[in-house]
Structure 1
Amino acid sequence: MTAKPDHLFDRVAEWGALVAFASRPTQTAQLGIVSGRRRMGKTYLLRALAERVGGFYFGATTATAGESLRQFGAALAEFTGAEVPIVFDSWDHAVTYLFGLAARERADKPLLLVIDEFSYLVKAVPELPSLVQREIDRYQVEPSGARLLVCGSAMSVMGGLLASNAPLRGRAQIEMVVRPFGYRDAAAFWGVDTDPALAMRLHAVLGGTPAYRRQFLADDVPLSLNDFDQWLSRTVLSPLSPLFREARYLLAEEAEIRDTALYHSVLAAVAQGNNTRGGIAGYIGRKAVDISHPLAVLEDCHLLTRERDVFRAGKSVYRMTEPLINFYEAVMRPSWARLESGQAQQVWARSKERFAAQVAGPHFEAICREFMLGDGIEMLGPDAGFGEIGCGIVTDSTARKQIQIDVAVVQPGGGGHKSAVSMIGEAKWGVTMGLNHLDRLVRARELLAGSGVDASNCRLACFSGVGFSDALRERADRDSNVLLLGLAQLYGHHAIGNRG
């Protein structure tokens, strides 16, 4: 196993999969697709891999087809040790030459070939995927050690490479999406894992994007929770910081997005809490049918995700997946002129309540669901491990109201078994939770049982970013079906109260 470089934080699973691909002993050409939004460290990862295994790496730029071809030839000349530049008359010739490096006499020795920012090349050379497909197919018959990895950040373009009618459909042996660090790994990366309150706020603003710490902020990290306000004012909210306009750039860089004003309005609607299709349409003054395309594009770009209601078939809500964009839409965009004039501290002082309600609160709920996808599920016993984790609404017809369930673990019915719920939970970021929150969950469990769902083993969970009342703690000590989880537990400790 080729050792992962010490400077490469985490990415253990990704590194192992890529090394296995690069060293696969078969004598046929292999193709891998690596994608992920910008700033995730894809280039960092692939450069390190190419260096470790002695492979070829080419990073494309935004350029014409002709200029890119010259750059490609120069990179190949450097790799092969050619004394004179390699000049290609077409991309057809270049792709043929690239695969030829690993053919015939070298077919028994895997050779890694990396083309980074492949989406740039596809924009300039639309026929490039077809040329790659031809060589991949050719070297399924003829011997070859080629291990080609193509990588890109335009998620819609990269996803389209393997679409149903795309030339490369069915040709890839590995398809990897390099995602942001999870909230725990992000805390360790930023060096704030011993301070969960700070780690959660930091993650609510910047998420798990690795490049923001070192490349954008030159390791400017908040020293403590007391330093968070000053840190935010001198970094994300400062017009002198590269992070100040980053949210705008993330949207503008997506190839499928043309009318950025419309897409910003859709994202602003979600940031304001309008997370249904009808709510978004009403917020921006359009008909629901008119926003189908923008919603689909934002999903393809991995900027929005649609979460289905686990209790109501056919219902779903939208949630932003990029915390920085959510922070921008909720806090920065409404006060953009003041921020540009250097009033970061004043804007932030007036935005803290909005941050808690529209940014930190929804983000905390998402983190609680992420926790249940990981270590948290173990608290519920072995049967819950196969359940679906999500959120939903339980309707109380008698009281004519709806009960929002922020975290739920549900086993779908089938095979003669009715659906069951293992846990329902409520998450509150800035509120000390009390018996009233637990009573609401008790009522929701009763309603679920009354609707035919098996709730006999349903546990009730209260997630809080602040804490719990003494009365609620006493109740949890007496009742093994009640779980209290605070920030310390989400970041790796045990649940408070009786765990059963």
Structure 2
Amino acid sequence: MLTKPDRIFDREFEWRHLSAFVERGRDTVQLGVVSGRRRQGKTFLLEALASETGGFYFGATQATEAESLRLFSAALQDYAKSPVRLRFADWDEAIRHLFTVAGDIGRPIVIDEFPYLSKVSPALPSIIQREVDRAISQGGRLALLLCGSAMSVMGGLLAGSAPLRGRATLELVVKPFDYPLAAGYWKIGDPALAARVHAVVGGTPAYLRFLNGDIPESMDDFDEWVLRTVLDPGTPLFREARYLLEEETDIRDSALYHSVLAAVAAGDNTRGGIASYIGRKAADIGHHLNVLEDNCLLRREPDVFRAGRSVYRVAEPLISFYQVIMRPQWGLLESGRAAAVWTDARPRFHSQIMGPHFEELCRRFALVEPVFGGLPGEVGAGALTDHAYRTQIQVDVAVFAPAVPGEPRRVMSIGEVKWGDVMGARHVERLRRARDLLAEKGYDTRETVLACYSGAGFDPAFHPEDDVRMIGLPELYS
């Protein structure tokens, strides 16, 4: 495997697959698609790959077809050190020449921000498909990577009847750092502080650079850090949440999409609740929900106990922070009144931002850590109806074992999450009642562990029994 440069933090999984892709391309035809939301370090990663292998890298920009061809021609001419000026009449000629060069040099070819090119030149994927097929039939060698941030466009390259479907040998999505890795990247050792910072900026690597490496020194510095970074109109992060939405190619009426995200961030996260919040019928917002899902700004999570029911969550923490804290007071923030805005918004930060975000961290913890007797098959949330008491019990973290045909679904754990509450006996009793209800519904609960997840700690007077786990921030970040 190629040695990963020291300047790249983690990304071991991505580098391993890219290295193997390049190695295969020395002898055969390889086509790869690399995607991921903006600011995740895709360009940084691919430029490093091209540099380490001596490959060709071309970063497309928003331009007309003619200008894009000129820029591509100039870049290829410089790379190939051609004494003859390259000038292509169209992409058909350009791609044929590119494949010839790629076969000659045996090094990877990277075309970054490919959606900019395919938007103004819709035939480009078909042209690449034809040349890939030709190279395969002639026993050629090639390692071509197409990269982009427009998730709906990149996802469509290999979907359905798309020209490139079935040609790719690599499909890599560069994701944000998960919360423990993000804490390491930001060099934050205090779990309470790391969770709060993650609730604002998530795991997007570029945001640390946006802030010139400004990291809160301690919990006492967190409020001041918020004021001097994300709420400061002089920092790039101040308007970033707006740009994340407006940069997506499939989004036209951004005001309506902002309203959808605001509804979800405020807690109106069912389809009906979103429609009511924005003043539309539920049937009229299906397209907008699909677009936000396709662009990885929104995700739909099914209720694990009630088939056909689901809720929506905002996928990017910075967007949630913007919708709940910044957007309602945008004028005051632009005029430099951040301190007053943050003082007023701090309770909402803990209830509407930290509470749901901590629940998500706990579900991720339960998904990847074998803390309940083995790796789970599914982790989610759901509501149980208690007819005897005419109430509902919300299970924030439900952990299921892998399904076995013909056997009852085994529940490894059910958990309740509280960000700001000290947890104890009453929370455990509620979970015991939920476990009984699941047993009545036919689930296998004989070994179900009751888990209390708290960001504020646990009642020292409560002594849990063997079937109860107390999981706090230190455990989540251990």
TM-score normalised by structure 2 residue count: 0.98
Which position in structure 1 is the counterpart of 2:195? 200
Mapped contact 1:22–1:110 kept (Cα < 8 A): no
Which position in structure 2 is the counterpart of 1:122? 118
Q: CA deviation at 1:387?
A: 2.3
* Counterpart residue type for residue 58 of structure 1: F
Equivalent residue in structure 1 for 2:328, among 331, 334, 349? 334
The verdict on how the C-alpha distance between 1:25 and 1:344 changes in structure 2, with shifts beyond 3 A counting, is: closer
User: Unaligned stretches of 5+ in structure 1?
Assistant: 493-500
Matches within 5 A, 1:204-215: 204-214=199-209
Question: In structure 1, what is the Cα distance between the partners aligned to 2:269 and 2:153?
Answer: 26
User: Unaligned stretches of 5+ in structure 2?
Assistant: none
Could you list the per-position Cα deviations for residues 213-254 of structure 1 after superposition, in whole angstroms to 9, with x for gaps in the alignment? 01x111111111111111111110011111111000000001
- Provide the identity percentage: 58
In structure 2, the residue corresponding to 1:82 is in which secondary structure? Answer: coil
Equivalent residue in structure 1 for 2:146, among 127, 138, 150? 150
Q: CA deviation at 1:132?
A: 0.4
In structure 2, the residue corresponding to 1:466 is in which secondary structure? Answer: coil
Question: In structure 1, what is the Cα distance between the partners aligned to 2:173 and 2:27?
Answer: 26
* Counterpart residue type for residue 111 of structure 1: R
Which position in structure 2 is the counterpart of 1:370? 364
Whether 1:461 aligns to 2:451 is yes
Whether 1:137 aligns to 2:137 is no
Could you list the per-position Cα deviations for residues 309-358 of structure 1 after superposition, in whole angstroms to 9, with x for gaps in the alignment? 11111111111110000100011001111101101111011111101111
Q: CA deviation at 1:27?
A: 3.7
Which position in structure 2 is the counterpart of 1:434? 424
Matches within 5 A, 1:25-424: 27-103=27-103, 106=104, 110-192=106-188, 194-214=189-209, 216-375=210-369, 378-382=370-374, 385-411=375-401, 414-424=404-414
Mapped contact 1:310–1:410 kept (Cα < 8 A): no
Q: CA deviation at 1:264?
A: 0.5
* Counterpart residue type for residue 280 of structure 1: I
Which position in structure 2 is the counterpart of 1:495? none
Q: CA deviation at 1:386?
A: 4.0
Mapped contact 2:449–2:469 kept (Cα < 8 A): yes
Could you list the per-position Cα deviations for residues 390-439 of structure 1 after superposition, in whole angstroms to 9, with x for gaps in the alignment? 11111111111111111111236553211121100011111111211111
After the TM superposition, list the runs of 4 or more consecutive aligned residues in structure 1 that deviate by more than 6 angstroms: none
Mapped contact 1:407–1:424 kept (Cα < 8 A): yes
The verdict on how the C-alpha distance between 1:54 and 1:412 changes in structure 2, with shifts beyond 3 A counting, is: closer
Q: CA deviation at 1:85?
A: 3.1
Question: In structure 1, what is the Cα distance between the partners aligned to 2:42 and 2:466?
Answer: 45
The verdict on how the C-alpha distance between 1:301 and 1:222 changes in structure 2, with shifts beyond 3 A counting, is: same
Q: How many residues align?
A: 478
Give the stretch that moved more between structures: 170-179 or 404-413: 404-413
* Counterpart residue type for residue 93 of structure 1: E
Question: In structure 1, what is the Cα distance between the partners aligned to 2:393 and 2:84?
Answer: 71
Q: CA deviation at 1:271?
A: 0.6
Question: In structure 1, what is the Cα distance between the partners aligned to 2:225 and 2:404?
Answer: 52
Q: CA deviation at 1:143?
A: 2.5
Question: In structure 1, what is the Cα distance between the partners aligned to 2:424 and 2:238?
Answer: 39
The verdict on how the C-alpha distance between 1:54 and 1:26 changes in structure 2, with shifts beyond 3 A counting, is: closer
RMSD: 1.2
